[in-house]
Structure 1
Amino acid sequence: MNKSNATFLVNKYDLFQATFSDNKIPISKTNEVILEIENYAFTANNITYAVTGDTLGYWNFFPTKEPYGIVPVWGFANVISSKNENISVRDKYYGYFPMSKYLKVLPEKVNSFGFIDDSNHRKTLPFVYNHYLKVIKSVDESLEYYPLIKPLFLTSFLNYFFLKDENFFECDQIILTSASSKTALSLAFLLSKNKLEDKKKIIAITSEKNIKFLSSMEFYDIVLSYNDIEKKLIASKSIIIDFAGNSDYLKKLSDHLGDLLKHVCLIGLADWSSKTDFKSIPNSK
């Protein structure tokens, strides 16, 4: 066991400024469990957590001293200390962790599938982030991809059913920006699987270098580059699912579609350097 709990911190008000803190290993009290973090994924999704840390509450999961925040990540951890009778040392869990070595949790609703962290600062936070899934050793090797794919697919799954509940805002076509990203591909997969029922055209907007790759996926009806928006994108009743977070390109799409743009879903914010204010883009949420 390491003797310290090294934690990666970023300045919440300037994400280019970062440092490490070196804290003591947490000690478990009644019903508490100490998890040693084994590994985790860091993707554009985590950049979105940092960019929206204040507005969407991501800094609240693992609070630390101002002006710093801890970017949450998805990964695996092993139990190294347990004072909960339903959880054993060496049990392994998949879930939401700090960029740190150790995490203390207060498990509630423990069953054979996992538990909920009921620590005081997490009681009001969304269930999906507070649930820790017990890892069964017999699961196949695809388990290694969980931190990379599972949270992104869940985002797309929820987004798909949100759109379906809204009857796709009466659109004819669904436009996905950053269409080669894992979250966009997950949504494109769901849309293509349900295309006979939904009857929506699925359009990819991507960089030039990804056009050949996306065309081979067979998820999209049309694949366009960002430079093709004004030349080749047919103006029709549309919704945009934005995974890029580039407000300049989004404004370009909005201007091209005009009143035919019925809704904009802002999913990703990996690119926070663009200059256009998202508030200037109609129907964006």
Structure 2
Amino acid sequence: MSTTDLLIRKDDLSSTRLRTSEDQRLADGQIRVRIDSFALTSNNITYAAFGDAMNYWQFFPTGEEGWGTIPVWGFGAVVHSLHPGVAVGERLYGYFPMASSAVLTPERLSPERFTDGAAHRAALPAVYNQYFRCRSDPLYTTDTEDIQALLRPLFITSWLIDDFLEDNDFFGARPGAMLLSSASSKTAYGTAFQLAQREGIEVIGLTSAANKAFCESLGCYSRVLAYEELGQLPADKPCVYVDFAGNGALRRAIHTRFTNLKHSASIGGTHVDQLAASGSGKDLPGPRATLFFAPAQIKKRTSEWGAEAFGQRMVQAWHAFIARVTDAKAPWLRAEHHDGGAEVQVAYAEVLSGRGDPRVGYVLSLSAPPSR
């Protein structure tokens, strides 16, 4: 048997190639997972853009200098197992390479999940090394796999951003405004959905003119402005900037204009062509732009609330969110499937360009797709 994976040139994210290689032989304690489907969103482009700085390339090393594979979230089935605690046929959700299959080394098994114990992942953030066993996963339903793949990891980040801001009393910007760039992105509107439930907070979405109508249609933003309309906001307005775009010029404009900017949080980099210009932000007026790292907030809240209470709060928020996203009368998102190497490459180029329809979510497969 063989595995197909999509390789990305680390110094040129637009350069890709498909590689097919013989499946590696399993060692005792390992399993092989057929990766049936995975989501591709701007979040994954962020993984690539920060691949070296944040060690994302290290999760699934390719063995080829200069080439990496982008981690994605998706579903798979165990097709070969040399681990007594994991049966062939078991369905899993978790962090996979853009490939048709993956080899995992399950450790610390519970009915709900296990951790991949591969040596090269030991020093990487634990949250990315967990695999959820679908039969016992409180978030799993068979009919929502596409939505889970597309939104679950993003919404957890959104939920944590909202919690982080509330945990810090919105850095003194309540009453005031939260400015969210790349407002049409899934992580941004998930954050807006949460923030809209807070008292004294105006949630302002910043987006391209082309996506303004879409963002307004969601109903979770108090107000939506195209990037060139930033001047419509009072310069002395107390505010927090939540940067989902990584656009250096926009960040500079916000830091320069708003004299009462209380906090500047950097979440991701959807505007890949602007990342080089974004720099560290050390020379910007106002607060220094600070990278938000979701695993740190997970660790803090798990310690404070306990793992069970943390999970219960997150599950409750998730169900409320997907109920709105999948509302039959006005859905926010629809999944679009693309199977096979050529289609996956085309979809990747579309997401990388940032020109896709914000209502479309790409669900991809490099393996022979199961019947849907």
Q: Shared fold by TM > 0.5?
A: yes
CA contact (8 A) 1:27 1:34 kept: no
CA contact (8 A) 2:182 2:270 kept: no
Alignment of structure 1 residues 117-266 onto 2, 5 Å: 117-136=116-135, 139-171=141-173, 172-193=176-197, 195-196=198-199, 199-233=200-234, 235-258=236-259, 260-266=260-266
**Cα distance, 1:234 vs. partner?**
5.1
**Cα distance, 1:42 vs. partner?**
1.1
Supply the distance in 2 between the matched residues of 1:98 and 1:213 (Cα, whole angstroms). 31
Unaligned runs of 5+ in 1: none
Supply the distance in 1 between the matched residues of 2:18 and 2:211 (Cα, whole angstroms). 36
Which residue identity lines up with residue 6 of structure 2 in the other structure? F
Which residue identity lines up with residue 226 of structure 1 in the other structure? Y
**Cα distance, 1:16 vs. partner?**
2.4
Which is worse superposed, 27-36 or 201-210? 201-210
What TM-score, normalized by structure 2, do the two folds share? 0.71
How many residue pairs get matched?
279
Task: Tell me: CA distance 1:209–1:20, structure 2 relative to 1, closer, same or farther (3 Å).
Answer: closer
Which is worse superposed, 118-127 or 164-173? 164-173
Which residue identity lines up with residue 143 of structure 1 in the other structure? E
Which residue identity lines up with residue 36 of structure 1 in the other structure? R
Which residue does 2:76 correspond to in 1?
A: 77
Local SS of the residue matching 2:135? coil
Which residue identity lines up with residue 103 of structure 2 in the other structure? K
CA contact (8 A) 1:247 1:276 kept: yes
Which residue does 1:62 correspond to in 2?
A: 60
Local SS of the residue matching 2:26? coil
Supply the distance in 2 between the matched residues of 1:141 and 1:19 (Cα, whole angstroms). 32
CA RMSD of aligned residues (A): 1.8
Identity in percent: 34
Which residue does 1:48 correspond to in 2?
A: 46
Supply the distance in 1 between the matched residues of 2:212 and 2:7 (Cα, whole angstroms). 37
Local SS of the residue matching 1:142? helix
Which residue does 2:289 correspond to in 1?
A: 284
Local SS of the residue matching 2:109? strand
CA contact (8 A) 1:26 1:102 kept: no
1:95-134 CA-to-partner distances (Å, cap 9, x unmatched) read: 1001112211110122221211011011121121111111
CA contact (8 A) 1:71 1:98 kept: yes
Larger RCO of the pair (alpha carbons < 8 Å, separation 6+): 2
1:154-203 CA-to-partner distances (Å, cap 9, x unmatched) read: 1111212222222211112211011121101110111112x12xx22211
What TM-score, normalized by structure 1, do the two folds share? 0.92
**Cα distance, 1:17 vs. partner?**
2.3
CA contact (8 A) 1:247 1:278 kept: no
